[in-house]
């Protein structure tokens, strides 16, 4: 069985710019993309030719071979030329006709002098139609390494055997392997290594305890044709081991130090089969230092299978390499993006393995990952530099790009970059044909959507393929759409990972399903209309196995949830959401949504505050991110709730967070952004927070819990004074309202067996416990203070978790006491509870978040005219599983005056919003920009005079021009100079593909501008809609 050895991650650090001195202060590492899982492979017999294969020995090294027979010219005479006339022509070059060539019409002329001199004379003779040298061919170098014939067929994919015929040594070019170290004693690396450096321990011990670096070294430059193991890409090369890993991780400070050491000690190529999220100047500066010293840096693209940022692969100075299989098809783990330059095989790659990692024996291993495609390119780069020593790193990169074999979508693309590296062409050999492109399915845009009735099958036949389907809903129905993918097979290089989005007829996002499961489903109550379903894979690879898309409809029933339209997720990287709030913190008069995140797996977005500004049309701008002091607590004793208040009396909404480390205040600046947070002194341990004018002086105060309940009274100048409301070990939710009818604001908090009402009085605070109606000492999970029976007095609602799952309301009586109403059943783990007038009937309704086993729902308890709560109506939702207090907020998210829902979504889905169906039609998620193109994606432009793009959004005409709408040459990436126009009436962009004759009086028809047999790429980047939002990076591929 062949194992997978995936990319080892490198973490960012805050070290200073490159210096030979290593940083002693390391940052926390980013989690590894995947741990190495290398399977050692030992030959059954001593390393010699495998049984049954004849030992051909080593190839004979030729000297100054002219490449042709030195005294023969092959000549074809004009028809009817007599034998005597042929003899006379031959005599003019002191030669004679020596016989017929094997091809009809040709004869051999043997010359006394050099054939090359005779060739020019013969070509000039009027009786000669064709003359050529009799070129000499040789058998391609076939190394005798025993694993080469059966386990290294991928070397032929990049034409390395032919390249070795051109050049089979690169000992003048040292490749630095910046990795886990190298087993320099491995027999297949004997004589190939030069002294290296351990940047972690600052010594020369480069012992490889992981095996990864030894594999990389063998791929790049193992001894070739030595009768042992494997063949290295450089045939005869040099390896400089640079050890930068300490256990599972490498730190940018060590990586930078290792790169600089390698450069200063003679490396000409640096291979970095490592990477991770996050960018730091120290690593970038080290790479720029290397390139400035004439060193070429080759980096693996990453193994995330998506286009998430990956460093150092994103740096423009490096040569970034993706991974394919032996058939030159991109793998499902290969990261992709515009920064990918080339691709090379990276699946089932055989190489040397460390004896330290394998238990003391010299072995070989097979692995998969862009870690192993990069050193193949590094070896080819070494050969190229050896053949052309005067080329700069940039020139070598351009040569490798220019000679690469196209694969996937024609021309430059984000999956293969410029194509598969072609070693033979890079060394001056004749180019060969491009790899075949998969067939086009013709459903890559909404205008080309295939109709879905009940069930159909589809394929991801092309890298980055997107399939569109059209689903008609004739009347409001309960709809469920299921996408079933082939089973993920770890022994395949290509697997479809399903993702599905549903858009309405105006191409606004309705719902989506993009988890990490083989079957994705979306559903709910959908109104009548046409819906568009987009299907594609999370990764960029193809899959020859089919997926199934199934749609079903049924009539609506009384139990269907009508209050909110289907929700939409807005991810914030890979961070897990904590809490939400709604308030105008940008100063434009529209409520914005605020979200805090957990400490999980995304350092850039963990423990942050995000603000989603509401736009005039009710949609949201991309979020603004703010650093916070949220406590990094993986056991989640802090939920980072949010309160909205004016902290300094300037009339603007500001933000307060209970961070665990204290109450942190963010004041709104005049430009609508938030100023950096400031901690209120002596508030450590803060868990929950609420805002209200507790002392009636006209400004807003804060109440928070931190093992007790505290009041922060606002004073002049934005200062707060702390005082105790109640002790007693509470770190739970706090809510504010007049709980006894005396005109003062009081505080409610959950407690074992009920709720506490902390009542404000002339002489201080009094705490009164109200027991709930359930047996035992259950602590309510969420509470809310609101008038829940229409009598004008503040009541308390509390949710009781399993095993009871009740909703308990405590009604305030005329005498100011609280009385528990009968328990009301609430299904499936109730949690956060919020209030709002859903239907504008003047009565407050309740909304309860539920979460259990990954399934989320929201229940609405509508207040009836009699002052009771109706049986809940249940709808689908997306909440974090624990549905803790503050996971949900209620407010107007689209400017229609009706309350909508914003929530901290499950997994890494970020913000979830759902819209009240009583208001304007739900704006839902973002609207797509493009409905389709006149020529379908991947189609032929041929002699098409104009290429049109049908836009869904209304564009600002001033932004549509030749700079924002470009047709790029697929080979060079350069824009073709073409007229661009926009018709606002039809929302159509037109690119004119022909050029009218410009000569005065010319009557010739317009001439095509595009070159035949050339690929092109339409790019929309920088056009704006009428709301000012920009479209970036929209791409469609074509052939001429």
Dist. CA 1036–CA 58, nearest whole Å: 49
Neighbours of 139 (CB within 10 A): 9
The sign of the dihedral angle between the CA atoms of 307, 312, 314, 320 is: negative
Sheet holding 688-692, edge to edge: 688-692, 701-705, 707-714, 720-730
Kind of pairing between the strands at 900-904 and 197-198: unpaired
- Please report the DSSP string for 20-71 in residue order: SSPPSSPPPPPPPS--B--EEE--SSSSSSPTTS----PPPPP-S--SEEEE
CA distance 402 to 393: 14
98 is catalytic: no
The DSSP H or E segment spanning 267 is none
Contact status, residue 33 vs residue 9, Cβ threshold 8 Å? yes
What b-and-e string marks burial along 43-73, b requiring 16 or more CB atoms within 10 Å of the CB?
Answer: eeeebebeeeeeeeeebeeeeeeeebeebbb
**Residue 714, SS3 per DSSP:** strand
CB-based contact 1011:967 (threshold 8 Å):
no
Give the DSSP H or E segment for 83: helix 83-91
Neighbours of 874 (CB within 10 A): 17
Q: Do the beta carbons of residue 642 and residue 594 sit within 8 Å?
A: yes
Catalytic residue among 145, 179, 188, 341: 179
Q: Is 162 helix (H, G, I), strand (E, B) or coil?
A: helix
State how far the Cα of 656 lies from the Cα of 720, in Å rounded to an integer: 12
**The two three-digit tokens of residue 244, written as one number:** 């930068």
| 940 included as an active-site residue | no
Active site residue 632: no
Residues making up the chain, counted from first to last: 1040
Structure tokens at 299: 């980096």
Chain position carrying tokens 């393929």: 465
Copy the structure tokens of residue 841: 């009937």
Distance CA 828, CA 826 (A): 7
Task: Please spell the DSSP secondary structure of 195-263, one letter per residue.
Answer: --EETTTTBS----SSSHHHHHHHHHH---SSSSS---TTSS-EEEEEE-EETTEEEHHHHHHHHHHHH
Of 248, 294, 250, give the one whose Cα is nearest residue 272. Answer: 250
Of 13, 186, 212, 705, which is the active-site residue? 212
Buried-exposed string 1002-1035: b where 16+ CB fall within 10 A, e elsewhere:
eeeeeebebeeebbbbbbbebbbbeeebebeeeb
**Could you say which of 371, 512, 537, 705 is catalytic?**
371
SS3 of 362, please? coil
Residue 758 C-alpha from the chain's centroid: 49
Distance CA 890, CA 895 (A): 13
At CB < 8 A and 24+ separation, what contacts does 745-748 make?
745/692, 745/693, 745/694, 745/696, 747/690, 747/703, 747/709, 748/783, 748/785, 748/796
CA diameter of the chain: 134
Residue of 213, 156, 154, 517 lying closest to 350 (CA atoms)? 154
Q: How far apart are CA 931 and CA 938, in angstroms?
A: 16
3-state helix, strand, coil in the chain (%, to 5): 10, 35, 50
So which residues are the catalytic ones?
A: 179, 212, 371
């Amino acid at each position: 069985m062949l194992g997978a050895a995936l990319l080892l991650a490198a973490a960012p650090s805050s070290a200073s710019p490159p210096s030979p001195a290593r940083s002693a202060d390391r940052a926390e590492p980013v989690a590894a993309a995947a741990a190495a899982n290398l399977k050692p492979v030992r030959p059954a017999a001593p390393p010699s030719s495998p049984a049954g294969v004849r030992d051909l020995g080593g190839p004979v090294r030729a000297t100054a071979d002219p490449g042709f027979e030195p005294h023969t010219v092959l000549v074809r005479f004009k028809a009817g030329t007599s034998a005597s006339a042929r003899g006379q022509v031959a005599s003019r070059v002191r030669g004679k006709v020596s016989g017929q060539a094997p091809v009809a019409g040709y004869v051999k002329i043997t010359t006394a002098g050099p054939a090359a001199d005779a060739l020019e004379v013969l070509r000039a003779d009027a009786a000669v139609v064709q003359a050529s040298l009799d070129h000499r061919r040789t058998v391609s170098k076939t190394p005798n390494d025993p694993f080469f014939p059966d386990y290294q067929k991928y070397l032929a994919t990049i034409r390395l055997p032919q390249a070795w015929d051109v050049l089979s040594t690169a000992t003048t070019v040292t490749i630095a392997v910046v990795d886990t170290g190298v087993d320099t004693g491995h027999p297949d690396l004997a004589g190939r290594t030069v002294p290296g450096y351990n940047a972690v321990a600052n010594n020369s011990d480069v012992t490889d305890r992981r095996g990864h670096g030894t594999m990389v070294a063998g791929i790049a430059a193992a001894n070739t044709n030595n009768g042992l193991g494997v063949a290295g890409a450089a045939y005869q090369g040099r390896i400089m081991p640079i050890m930068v890993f300490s256990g599972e991780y490498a730190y940018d400070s060590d990586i930078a130090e290792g790169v600089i050491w390698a450069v200063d000690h003679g490396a000409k190529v640096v291979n970095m089969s490592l990477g991770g999220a996050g960018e730091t100047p120290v690593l970038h500066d080290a790479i720029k230092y290397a390139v400035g010293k004439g060193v070429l840096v080759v980096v693996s693209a990453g193994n995330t299978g998506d286009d998430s940022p990956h460093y150092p692969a994103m740096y423009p100075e490096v040569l970034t390499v993706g991974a394919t299989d032996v058939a030159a098809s991109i793998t499902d783990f290969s990261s992709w993006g515009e920064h990918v330059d080339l691709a090379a095989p990276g699946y089932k790659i055989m190489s040397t393995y460390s004896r330290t990692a394998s238990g003391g024996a010299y072995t070989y291993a097979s692995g998969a990952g862009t870690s192993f495609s990069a050193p193949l390119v590094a070896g080819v780069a070494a050969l190229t530099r050896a053949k052309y020593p005067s080329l700069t790193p940039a020139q070598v990169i351009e040569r490798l790009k220019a000679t690469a074999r196209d694969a996937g979508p024609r021309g430059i693309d984000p999956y293969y970059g410029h194509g598969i590296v072609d070693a033979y062409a890079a060394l001056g050999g004749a180019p060969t044909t491009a790899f075949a492109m998969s067939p086009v399915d013709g459903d890559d845009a909404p205008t080309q959507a295939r109709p879905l009735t009940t069930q159909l099958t589809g394929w991801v036949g092309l890298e980055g393929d997107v399939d569109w389907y059209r689903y008609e809903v004739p009347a409001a129905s309960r709809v469920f759409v299921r996408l079933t993918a082939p089973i993920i097979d770890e022994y395949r290089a290509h697997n479809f990972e399903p993702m599905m989005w549903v858009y309405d007829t105006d191409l606004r996002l309705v719902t989506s399903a993009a988890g990490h499961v083989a079957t994705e489903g979306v559903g709910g109550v959908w109104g009548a209309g046409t819906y568009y379903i987009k299907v594609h894979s999370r990764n960029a690879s193809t899959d020859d196995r089919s997926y199934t898309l199934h749609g079903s409809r049924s009539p609506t029933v009384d139990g269907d949830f009508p209050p909110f339209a289907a929700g939409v997720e807005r991810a914030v990287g890979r961070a897990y959401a904590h809490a939400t709030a709604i308030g105008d913190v940008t100063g434009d008069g529209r409520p914005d949504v605020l979200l805090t995140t957990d400490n999980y797996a995304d350092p850039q977005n963990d423990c942050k505050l995000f603000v989603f500004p509401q736009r005039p049309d009710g949609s949201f701008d991309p979020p603004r991110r703010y650093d916070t002091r949220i406590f990094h607590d993986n056991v989640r004793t802090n939920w980072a709730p949010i309160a909205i208040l004016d902290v300094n009396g300037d009339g603007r909404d500001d933000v307060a967070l209970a961070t665990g480390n204290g109450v942190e205040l963010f004041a709104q600046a005049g430009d609508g952004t938030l100023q950096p947070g400031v901690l209120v002194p002596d508030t450590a341990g803060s868990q929950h927070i609420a805002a209200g004018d507790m002392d009636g002086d006209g400004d807003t105060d804060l109440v928070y819990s931190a093992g007790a309940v505290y009041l922060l009274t606002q004073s002049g100048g934005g200062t707060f004074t702390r005082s105790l409301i109640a002790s007693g070990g509470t770190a739970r939710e706090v809510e504010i309202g007049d709980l006894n009818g005396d005109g003062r604001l009081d505080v409610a908090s959950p407690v074992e067996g009920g709720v506490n009402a902390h009542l404000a009085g002339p002489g201080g605070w009094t705490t009164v416990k109200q027991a709930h109606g359930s047996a035992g000492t259950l602590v309510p999970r969420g509470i809310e203070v609101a008038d829940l029976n229409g009598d004008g007095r503040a009541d308390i609602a509390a949710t009781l978790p399993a095993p009871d799952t009740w909703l308990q309301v405590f009604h305030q009586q005329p005498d100011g006491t609280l009385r528990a109403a009968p328990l009301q059943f609430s299904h499936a783990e109730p949690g956060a509870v919020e209030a709002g007038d859903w239907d504008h009937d003047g009565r407050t309704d309740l909304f309860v978040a539920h979460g259990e086993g990954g399934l989320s729902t929201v229940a609405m308890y509508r207040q009836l005219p009699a002052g009771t709560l109706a049986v809940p109506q249940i709808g689908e939702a997306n909440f974090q599983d624990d549905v803790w207090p503050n996971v949900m907020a209620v407010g107007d998210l689209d400017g229609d005056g009706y309350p909508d829902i914003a929530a901290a979504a499950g997994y890494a889905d970020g913000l979830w919003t759902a819209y009240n169906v009583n208001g304007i039609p739900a704006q839902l998620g973002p609207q797509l920009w493009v409905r389709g193109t006149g020529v379908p994606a991947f189609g032929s432009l041929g002699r098409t005079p104009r290429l049109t793009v049908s836009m869904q959004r209304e564009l600002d005409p001033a932004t549509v021009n030749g700079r924002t709408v470009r047709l790029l040459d697929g080979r060079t990436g350069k824009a073709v100079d073409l007229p661009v126009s926009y018709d606002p009436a039809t929302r159509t962009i037109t690119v004119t593909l022909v050029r009218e004759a410009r000569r005065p009086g010319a009557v010739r028809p317009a001439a095509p501008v595009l070159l035949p047999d050339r690929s092109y790429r339409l790019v929309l980047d920088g056009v704006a809609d009428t709301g000012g939002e920009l479209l970036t990076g929209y791409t469609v591929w074509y052939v001429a």
